[in-house]
Structure 1
Amino acid sequence: MVVIALRPETAIDFPSSLLPWNLDTSAFREVLAGQDMLRWTLNSVVYSVVSVVAVLVMASMAGYAFAKKRFPGREAMFWSFLAMVMVPYHVTLIPTFIVMAKLGGVDTYWGLILPSLANAQAVFLMRQFIKGLPDELFEAAKIDGAGEWRTFATIVLPLCKPVLATLGTFVFLWHWNDFLWPLIIGKSADMWTLTVGIASLRQQQVPLSVVLAGSVVALVPIFAAYAVAQRSFQEGVAQTGIKG
């Protein structure tokens, strides 16, 4: 992909070689200078970052409630919510779009982000992790007079750093690479994400090198997110545990 993006459109090597002799960066310059690409990148950043923050907050609170709080119907509610995992994502696309259209969410940021916030997999992971935390921690916090919000902020979240880093990385990758929902909910090119925008370039008879250059640029945040997450994994593992 990188080789073709750097190869001049008119370059034909005999014999063929893996790397072109004459590297041409015009495709990357065209991609980085394009207003559409900047807009699509902004949309992808907003879609991914806001979704990560919202999913982590909601999943951690729900996981804490399902793991450590006692209330009527807790188990039935949890397993009913978890049953959403067994429903294929594509089956819910049309009903979700109809609901969002009636609410006026078509071609808007909130319409793009809202349907993905109720993430059953994220709630399940957070619940399983928090369930393994010692009950003595929460009993001690209660004796010290800590309320629910203080307990959640000072005990649950710090101990959940490893799973939050892992989950945040996966959620970011899911949304950054998402194609079908942004394609359905975004009517105008101004609301397209990078995946949808790059796919549309081939229909506009844009040179293949430009399309692949855009794909290479779209991969950069993925590698960056992975690098940041790797650091968070190590820090979280080092800080996790109970000292006597």
Structure 2
Amino acid sequence: MSETMTNVLPDASKKEREAKRSPRAVRQFRKLAPTHVLLIFLALVTAFPFYSMVVIAFQPGQAIEMPGSLFPGSLSLDAFVDALASKDIPRWVLNSTVYSVVSTVFVLLFASMAGYAFAKKRFVGREVIFWVFIAMLMIPYHLTIIPQYILVGDMGGLDTMWGMLVPTIANAQAMFLMRQFIHAIPDEMLDAAKIDGAGEFRIYWSIILPQTKPIMATLTTFVFLWHWNDFLWPMVSQQSQENSVLTVGLNTLQEEQSPLATVMAAAVISFIPTFLVFVFLQRYFVRGVMMSGLK
């Protein structure tokens, strides 16, 4: 009998606690419900263009009528087959990959080196040079296109891959974020490494870089997306179809009045690399945003 009462009493008390909490939970749900509804609505509005793009890509050879085309009765992969079978689109994807990956690697390398120097080194004119870099962020990018085009042209870099890459390997914003993050690394770690006989490059490679993984992942995501979606500079610097990137190539397909389903299929293919980069770096990306103070 005592064992039975012992088993029943905790269950009864548990039910009482749940009963007391339920009104509070209901009130909290009612309070947050409008916010949740608004967020769901905004998410649907944001995802609608992407959904339309994917749905249209699966309807090759069919007339597009709204809203009927948004709910197709049959789907086909023919547009994706045509996009991948084209001699231009795979080449554009390769050019975009090289442009984005190489630019990202060099931006991270130079930004981390410059950030380390501005955060932990003492040299004449450090603050002046740093604020000159920051002032570069105030200049609209479109104003630098013409002098950038002239300089690259004088070096013989127009309509070449290296001419498209060179102006993108230095990024003042990436340098600023790296400097702010490295500034928070304790100086005692660097002093201990120097006492142990570590040189400057060893300190940078073995101490600074491992500590900056979160911000490096954040910048990798941002910089890769910037260059993968870049349109203006690749369009200006490249004249031939062979050296075009995917964003410029898709615009060319529209001008050539290619089938809409094929254009949308190519756009879906262009989305896949950016999605994979975000998925693999999401954990570090969120941590980097939190630790670097980005809002």
Q: Distance in 2 between matches of 1:113 and 1:12?
A: 39
What residue number does 2:244 align with?
192
Question: What is the correspondence of 1:2-21 to structure 2 with a 5 Å cutoff?
Answer: 2-11=54-63, 16=68, 18-21=70-73
Question: What is the correspondence of 1:8-87 to structure 2 with a 5 Å cutoff?
Answer: 8-11=60-63, 16=68, 18-87=70-139
**What is the TM-score normalised by the length of structure 2?**
0.77
Aligned to 1:88, which of 137, 140, 143? Answer: 140
Q: Distance in 2 between matches of 1:136 and 1:52?
A: 31
1:9: how far off? 2.4
What residue number does 2:274 align with?
222
**Letter of the aligned partner of 1:92 in structure 2?**
T
- Max Rg structure: 2
Instruction: Identify unmatched segments of 5+ residues in structure 2.
Output: 1-52, 290-295
Q: Distance in 2 between matches of 1:187 and 1:213?
A: 24
Aligned to 1:206, which of 238, 258, 278? Answer: 258
Between 5-14 and 107-116, the greater mean CA deviation after superposition: 5-14
Aligned to 2:196, which of 144, 148, 164? Answer: 144
The count of corresponding residues between Structure 1 and Structure 2 is: 237
1:13: how far off? 7.2
Q: Distance in 2 between matches of 1:164 and 1:21?
A: 45
Query: In structure 2, the residue corresponding to 1:86 is in which secondary structure?
Result: coil
Aligned CA RMSD, in angstroms, stands at 1.8
**Letter of the aligned partner of 2:80 in structure 1?**
F
What residue number does 2:208 align with?
156
Q: Structure 1 pair 131/41, CA: closer, same or farther in 2 (3 Å)?
A: same
Q: Distance in 1 between matches of 2:114 and 2:245?
A: 29
Instruction: Identify unmatched segments of 5+ residues in structure 1.
Output: 238-244
Q: Distance in 2 between matches of 1:58 and 1:195?
A: 26
**Letter of the aligned partner of 1:165 in structure 2?**
A
State the structure with bigger RCO (CA 8 A, min sep 6), 1 or 2. Answer: 1
Q: Distance in 2 between matches of 1:68 and 1:146?
A: 15
Q: What percent of counterpart residues are identical?
A: 57
Q: Distance in 2 between matches of 1:173 and 1:71?
A: 34
Q: Distance in 1 between matches of 2:92 and 2:225?
A: 16
Write out per-residue CA displacement over residues 189-215 of structure 1, whole angstroms, 9 at most, x where no aligned residue. Answer: 001000000111011120111111110
**What is the TM-score normalised by the length of structure 1?**
0.93
Find out whether 1:168 has 2:220 as its counterpart.
yes
What residue number does 1:241 align with?
none
Write out per-residue CA displacement over residues 104-124 of structure 1, whole angstroms, 9 at most, x where no aligned residue. Answer: 000111111110112000000
Q: Distance in 1 between matches of 2:173 and 2:94?
A: 27
Between 124-133 and 21-30, the greater mean CA deviation after superposition: 21-30
